Each structure stands twice: as structure tokens, then as C-alpha cells.
Chains A and B, each alone.
Chain A
């Protein structure tokens, strides 16, 4: 049984963790106006592992930036974890992200001068935790991704798969509601990619984290609960459990 089908037994919670209502995002590039997203509405329940799929330029990363509070919509509403992100300033969004979002990037993007342990501790520097607590939590996060023995190694001493697992540990160390992954397997071989996808699935299944991932990798379908297909800034439809990815209260899946 695929992980996707296995998840269908889970009961959806009453309030979606993520709700987008008629969201559009356009920006200027020189004299042109680029319409990156147009009238997208969707809702994702808490604890779901979702994938955004589509060709290059389809608006996946733009949608990911909106969900993670990195960017704000040109029109429409973005609600995440009960908060309307449209209203938040750049600094308020940064603070909100530090509490609610864990980010994983394609190229790992660890700080090269810090050890794995110190990289994982970075989001905790934004909290009130003392040094001891930060160290303990980072060690726990590294154990979750099975990298505790490599805690003192700097990124250049780790393989690509290990670096991405450190990035996952960094994303989860502050116990966020939402984990955002932008092509987390893009730079990995098949075996490392499966390891990373398995970790993300486990985070969703066992720790009830909501994971939203952009991917081009068709194998990812096996691991996720739901897939959103985008093209040319438009949400074409969903694949998987409709109950986990349903239409928002005032609008439908476009």
C-alpha cells in the first residue's frame, strides 16, 4: 500500500492549517508584469504531506513563498495556522516564520562555517531558550534525522544527503506547525532522495507536522497525501485524498 493511500484513513481536522482564498501574485520584471499566480484557492489540513507539482514557471515556488510567509499576495487572502499573513509587515512575517515555519531548500543552504549542531541551533537563537536547552533540542532534532554522530561536522564534511538531513533537522528544531520544502530531493541521488522523503513523511505521520513540498520528482507521489498540480500560475487540480485538501469555506479549488 502506498503511503498516499495509507493516509486516507486519517480524519481531517475541523479547521484547515492553510487556507488560500482567490490568491494572485504578480510582480514587475523591468517593464513587464509577471503574473506568477492567478486566483488560486486551496485548503490543506494539519498533519498532511502535500506536494506542489508542475513545470518550471508554473508558480510552485511563488505559492510556497506565500504559504511560508516569505512573500505576500498581490490579491486574495493567505491564512496559515489561524493567522492572516496579508496583514503582517516584513519584520512581523520574519518573527511569525521563526515560530511557525520550518524551511528546507533544494541546495541544503547550510551555513558553511557552522557545524551540523550549530546549523540546527540557528532557529533557536530566535527563541528565549538558554544555551543548554538549545543544545539539547538541536541534538534531539539531529537524532530524529539519524545524524547525531555527525553533529560536530561542518557541511563540507557531510554528503549531500546528510546535509539535507541537517537542513530538515534545522527546519523542525523549533517545532513549527508547517514545514516547507522547495525541491528537497532535487540535488540528491535516488537513495538519498528516498531517505529524505521518508523523513518528511514520518514528520507528517508521526509528529503531525504539515509538510508542503515543491517537487519535480514523480516518485514523490508515492510518499505524499495529496498533490496540487499547477501550470502557468493556475491551480489545475488535486490528486489524492480530497478530504485532506479541500475547498476553503468561501471558494473552491480552482
Chain B
């Protein structure tokens, strides 16, 4: 500790350079922490939206393949199943907004309450949904995005089926993170029958079981039921399903983490360059300190401490700024950004702060080691001969 004043004075020697280096490290740590919130945000998002008693059953070949609609009743008959709803992708494009698409599905309204009780959809809205053939219930996010209101008519042109259907919005899914658009399966079936096509297929069957302990057994039962059939199934938990569904985001996260690593490497080079310059400029002073009795280890330690203290202070500031910044973003956006979707979790956990500060410490240590070793390694007589 008695060498701390000397270290701090040396840090304050060139204030502009110290500020710029510290700023670069702090900014890098801010970026790293900010990026690191995204994978955690996805995970928490999945935990929030995914029930631990809900299962998706879809074609083993993937979501683009359909299953016979008859599977739904067989699935409902399995012991432990509380409810099951056959969901068919409609792929509706809202032409008034330039053909934008959002998740729109034909579902069975009478089973919504059993399968998605956690969505807390108003009972009156559900009743209207069941009684109106053209009724639709829509996620709050989508309602707000397009300024829709209950009672409004909306026309969507399917990108999957050769129909354009006009729906009357009868209720809202009170979940800001669910951009869903649900309508009656029978409405789509009628439209297809009018074109001579029978709607006897289904894309996904969402199932809710009574107890989390039953989930594994029920999933195995589903897959066993349809094994060796023309449409074998793959059952997975809702979290697993959404994890796969957001697979492209995971790729994005990988790129983000890669960029994060490169940012860290860049700032390491900046810090190392600064430390080298500082040591080179002070070669004479270091030689004098060694001459008056400062040992090699002490010189090495004080120089490494110098870069580490700077990096740690800057990194700590960066991490705290991330916390403040993400808190501000969460306050202004309500924790959900439509464009960023699940990436807008911005959860700065103590672990992320620790990782940011840890990165700064490592940058400081590594940046300081090479120049400090160079300054300490050379015999003092040689250094004095070179300098004087």
C-alpha cells in the first residue's frame, strides 16, 4: 500500500493519455457487458414465456411438415394431458402496412383456456372468440404496433394458403411479448372447403400436462404413439421449442460474442501500447529507482499494478455505466423492444458485472506484463549505460 501514492501519481502524470486509455477500456467493458446481457436476456425471456408443463408436438422432419389433424384427439386422450390445441400456421400478411407478417395461427378456440391459462386471457374475450367464427384474439404488442382496437376488422392475406381472410378482433392476449394473432381453425377450414380443399392437417399440437413430473413420460408416449407412422412426431418442451425457434438469434448472439472478443482484444492492444509508451518514457526514472534499491520484482509489480489499477477503475466504471444504461433502457421501453425482441432483456446480473470487471483486470494485467518485464529484466548497469 505504501507504493500506491507513487503508482497513482504516475497514472496522473499524463492525464489526457490516462483518460483516453481508461475511456477506451471503460467503453469496451460497457460494450462487452451490454452484449453479454443478450444471451442472458434470451434465456430469461424463454423462461418467462415458456411454461414447464407445456409441450409442443410437431412433425419429426421439422415445422414445415404437417401432421394429420386426427393426431390432436389421440394426444388429448393420453393420461396426464390437461388440454391440447392443434395450431396451423397461417402466415398472414397485413397488406395495409406493406405486407408485414407476424405469427398468425388457426387454432381451436375451445381449448385455449386449457392449454394457455398462464396467458390470462379475459374470459369474456375467450367466450367471444369461441362464438364468433371470424373472431381473432391478438397479442397486445401487435395491437399497439398497428393501433388496433377490439371490434376492429383486419384483413390478412395468407402466405401459406390461397386465401385472404377478414377477421374481427374480439379480444387481446395481455402479454406484451406475444406478437400472436389467433383465429378459429374452422374459419380457415370453411375458406379452404370453398376452394375444394379439406383442412385435415395441423402444424403443431400444443399440449399442457397436469404436472411437470409427467412431462418426460408424456413426451415419450407421444413419440411412441406415432412411431413408424407416415408422420412421426417429435415432442419437446416449450422452452426447448422456443430455443430452437430462436436459433437464428443464437447465431446472432454467437456473432455478438465474437465481436465482444475482438473488442476485448483491441482494447488489450491499446492498453498494452499505452503501458509500453509509459514505460519507455520513464526508462530513466525506472533506472534511477532500480539504482537506489528498488528490486526487479518491485519494479515489475508497481508497473503491472499501474496498468491494472487503471484498467480496473475504467472497467468498473464501464460496468456500472452499463448497469445505468440498461436500467434506463428498461425504464423507457418497459423491458421489451420490438425490434430487438428477446435480445432486449438487458439483464445486467452481478455475474455480468463481474465478467466485465474481470475482463478489465485481465486486460490491465496482460497489458502491463510485457513492458514491466522488459523494464525489470535488464541489469541496472546496462540500463544506466544506455540512458546516461
Residues of A within 8 A of B (CB): 61, 65, 68, 70-71, 90-91, 94-95, 97-99, 101-103, 105-107, 109, 111-114, 118, 122-123, 125-126, 131, 170, 182
Residues of B within 8 A of A (CB): 2-3, 5-6, 9-10, 12-13, 284-285, 288-298, 379-381, 384, 388
Question: Which residue of B284, B294, B381 is within 8 Å of A126 (Cβ)?
Answer: B294
The tally of CB-CB contacts under 8 A between chains A and B is 73
User: What residues on B are CB-neighbors of A105 within 8 Å?
Assistant: 288, 388
* A113-B293 in contact (CB<8A): no
* B10-A113 in contact (CB<8A): yes
Q: 14 A-B pairs, CB-CB below 8 angstroms?
A: A70-B381, A71-B379, A71-B381, A91-B295, A97-B292, A99-B293, A103-B291, A103-B292, A109-B285, A111-B289, A118-B5, A118-B6, A123-B293, A125-B2
A247 to B241 CA separation, bound complex (whole angstroms): 94
A234 to B379 CA separation, bound complex (whole angstroms): 24
* A65-B384 in contact (CB<8A): yes
A118 to B284 CA separation, bound complex (whole angstroms): 18
Select from chain A the residue with minimum beta-carbon distance to B2. A125
**Contacts A65-B381, A111-B285 given; does A91 touch B296 at CB 8 Å:** yes
A102 to B285 CA separation, bound complex (whole angstroms): 16
Question: Which residue of A61, A97, A111, A112 is within 8 Å of B291 (Cβ)?
Answer: A97
A98 to B290 CA separation, bound complex (whole angstroms): 9
A-B residue pairs, 10 tightest by C-beta: A98-B293, A71-B381, A113-B9, A94-B295, A109-B288, A97-B293, A91-B295, A113-B13, A70-B381, A126-B293
User: What residues on A are CB-neighbors of B388 within 8 Å?
Assistant: 61, 105-107, 182
* A113-B296 in contact (CB<8A): no
User: What residues on B are CB-neighbors of A103 within 8 Å?
Assistant: 288, 291-292
A107 to B387 CA separation, bound complex (whole angstroms): 12
A125 to B288 CA separation, bound complex (whole angstroms): 14
User: What residues on B are CB-neighbors of A125 within 8 Å?
Assistant: 2-3, 6
* B292-A113 in contact (CB<8A): no
Beyond contacts A94-B296, A109-B285, A125-B2: 15 other A-B pairs, Cβ-Cβ < 8 A, are A65-B381, A70-B291, A90-B296, A90-B380, A91-B296, A97-B291, A98-B292, A101-B293, A103-B291, A107-B388, A113-B10, A118-B5, A118-B9, A122-B289, A125-B6
User: What residues on A are CB-neighbors of B381 within 8 Å?
Assistant: 65, 70-71
**Most chain B CB neighbours (cut-off 10 Å) among A94, A97, A99, A182:** A94
Select from chain B the residue with minimum beta-carbon distance to A71. B381
User: What residues on B are CB-neighbors of A71 within 8 Å?
Assistant: 379, 381
**Most chain A CB neighbours (cut-off 10 Å) among B2, B3, B10, B292:** B292
